[in-house]
Amino acid sequence: MEEGLAQLRALLVDASPEVQSNLYNGVSYGIRYANYPQALAAMDSILADPGLNAQQKQAANDVTDLLKTAAQNQLNAPSPAQ
């Protein structure tokens, strides 16, 4: 996931301030603290931006898929022993 996020950051370096904010304050923060629903919501906002080109959208979709997998794995993880 880190590699995909690094690629997305590089592709979005010239994106709008709103996209940049969603990327750093939503996606990166959400991944850092394993808050995948927050990261996915921020990715949805990024994907909705009309200024993205095809390459940026593909990279964003790739990261979204990785986030969905991570969120599913988190849900399926065994609970810690009490």
Q: Residue 81 falls within a domain, yes or no?
A: no
- Work out the pLDDT band at 1, boundaries 50, 70, 90: confident
Burial class (CB in 10 A: 0-12, 13-18, 19+), 47: middle
Q: Residue 80 falls within a domain, yes or no?
A: no
User: Whole-angstrom Cα distance, residue 29 to residue 27?
Assistant: 6
- Whole-prediction pTM value? 0.88
Structure confidence by residue, pLDDT tens digits, 8-62: 999 999 999 999 999 999 999 999 999 999 999 999 999 999 999 999 999 999 9
Q: Residue 56 falls within a domain, yes or no?
A: yes
Domain count, the chain: 1
Structural domain boundaries enclosing 40: 2-75
Q: Residue 8 falls within a domain, yes or no?
A: yes
Q: Residue 82 falls within a domain, yes or no?
A: no
